């Protein structure tokens, strides 16, 4: 039996801290647990036995917040952060009143990233 469990509370601060330690301050607004607006959709898992964690979150740059993709980030128990590559998960963030098609594309990209995360955690099922 796997010790990995879904974690549906706020984004774990260690994702933000470790990402910025590795790539510099201000490089991960999408992982900031203090952000007023949660980056959604997102998914997280934790492994209480080892202290490891994994998250799927929308990723964007400060220059263009509408162009996004989903990132899969793994926190090994010993520190650091790994960026897993789920393949192309790009989409345009739908604005209020945007076409339903943009929401569908975002949701498809999210499902692809979550499937990649689950395969990393649990193997091929």
The burial class, CB within 10 Å (0-12 / 13-18 / 19+), for 94 is middle
Q: What is the pLDDT of residues 76-125, one digit of tens each?
A: 998 899 999 999 999 988 777 667 888 899 999 999 999 999 999 999 86
Cα–Cα distance between 75 and 82 in angstroms, integer? 6
The total domain count for the chain is: 1
Confidence of residue 19 (pLDDT cuts 50, 70, 90): very high
Residue 17 is part of which domain span? 5-122
How high is the pLDDT of residue 36?
Answer: 67
């Amino acid at each position: 039996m796997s010790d990995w469990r879904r974690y549906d509370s706020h984004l774990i601060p260690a994702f933000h801290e470790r990402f910025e330690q590795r790539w510099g301050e201000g490089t991960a607004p999408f992982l900031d647990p203090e952000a007023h607006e949660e980056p959604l959709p997102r998914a997280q898992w934790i492994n209480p036995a080892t202290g490891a964690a994994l998250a799927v979150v929308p990723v964007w740059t400060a220059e263009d917040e509408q162009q996004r993709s989903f990132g899969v980030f793994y926190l090994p128990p010993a520190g650091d952060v790994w960026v897993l590559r789920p393949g192309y998960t790009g989409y345009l963030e739908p604005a209020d009143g945007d076409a339903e098609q943009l929401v569908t594309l975002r949701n498809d990209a999210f499902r692809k990233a979550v499937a990649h995360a689950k395969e990393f955690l649990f193997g091929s099922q």
